[in-house]
Copies of this chain bind each other. A is one copy, B any other.
Amino acid sequence: MEVRDLGEFGLIARLRAALPPAGELLVGPGDDAAAWIASERCLLATTDAMVAGVHFLPEAVSADDVGWKALAVNVSDIIAMGGSPKHALVTLGLPPETPVAWIDGLYAGLRECAERYAVTIAGGDVVSSPVLAITVALYGEATVVDGSAQLMRRDAARGGDVIAVTAPLGASAAGLAVLQRGGPRDDTERALVRRHMRPEPDSAVGGAALTASGVACAIDVSDGLLQDLGHICEASGVGAELRIEDVPVDPALAGLRADDARELALTGGEDYVLLFTCAPQSLTRLAEAGIEALHFGRIVEDPAHHVRVLDADGREMDFARTGWDHLRGARGR
């Protein structure tokens, strides 16, 4: 059996089963970040890697964009737990012939992102590698109120919850498509590529702002809306119903056919916006706090934890591809 036979999620399930119980951790493997308490602060840690030829094409994108993204995707994970990012470790795997100018660019982008999100680069490691790779481990903190950490977990969705995101979807996937087609040909396409390479997790909306309004369940949209919602449903033991008409599609996709734009929004991935569920009254509290939640569905009781997409007439639609599996490639339902 090879790794590709298991697929990413099969492999992760296998790895988790191979580990001892998480002990004193509040949240162990399987969520956006691990969490544990030290005195009155709840500490968070997450990690994400980017490999040349797999996650980015060094000849097609600029080094500073890679640096920005390598950190930003981790920032997104911390925010999706309800925390604030704090300190990062950066590990570089480098072929000896890597141009130093490329590394300088990478660090310029890392630094820019670190300043944007008030992150400190706290250390790291540099190793020789036949392939260029950047791994970032990011540590963050969530607040503790009366001994209880204010976290958003993916296993906290309940029947009757509404489903919402903090921003419209699909622009990042459209930018990736532009890169795969040979690169941008005009300013519109350049803007889409930027959305793919410079994701901006919303630290103002995210984290503490949502937990303060009673939101306890969230994930960042990285693998694709349908797939990430599936992660929530599986972890929470519930199902979901989406109204396709209400799924917010990014205005940057206005030039595409409506069906194509919707498919990108549902399955494209790498949006790095927050997908969350909450009791309907929390939406009111969010609105009072000035946070616009774009809601488009609800959590239902469903032991099979299906994610159903309904058209304007309430009929279930079918999507051949639900998102991305990092070891298999495109993933079917």
Contact = CB atoms under 8 A, between A and B. Distances in A.
B129 A51 contact: yes
Number of chain copies forming the complex: 2
Contacts of A121: 19, 28-29
A47 B86 CA distance: 16
A269 to B, nearest CB: 14
A20 interface: yes
Contacts of A120: 20, 22-25, 28
Interface residues of A, number: 80
Nearest to A40: B39
A102 to B, nearest CB: 9
Interface string A97-118: 1111101100110010011000
A110 to B, nearest CB: 8
Given A46-B89, A51-B127, 13 more contacts: A3-B103, A5-B100, A14-B104, A15-B103, A15-B126, A25-B120, A34-B122, A36-B86, A38-B141, A47-B89, A49-B91, A54-B130, A96-B327
Interface of A: 1-6, 8, 11-12, 14-15, 18-20, 22-25, 28-31, 33-34, 36, 38-41, 43, 45-51, 53-55, 86-87, 89, 91, 93-101, 103-104, 107-108, 111, 114-115, 120-131, 133, 135, 137, 139, 141, 326-328
A25 B19 CA distance: 32
Nearest to A16: B121
A220 to B, nearest CB: 13
Given A3-B94, A45-B137, A18 B111 contact: yes
A135 B39 contact: no
Given A46-B89, A96-B4, A100-B2, A326 B126 contact: yes
A197 B275 CA distance: 43
Contact of A54 (B11, B24, B87, B128): B128
A3 B122 contact: no
A39 B41 contact: yes
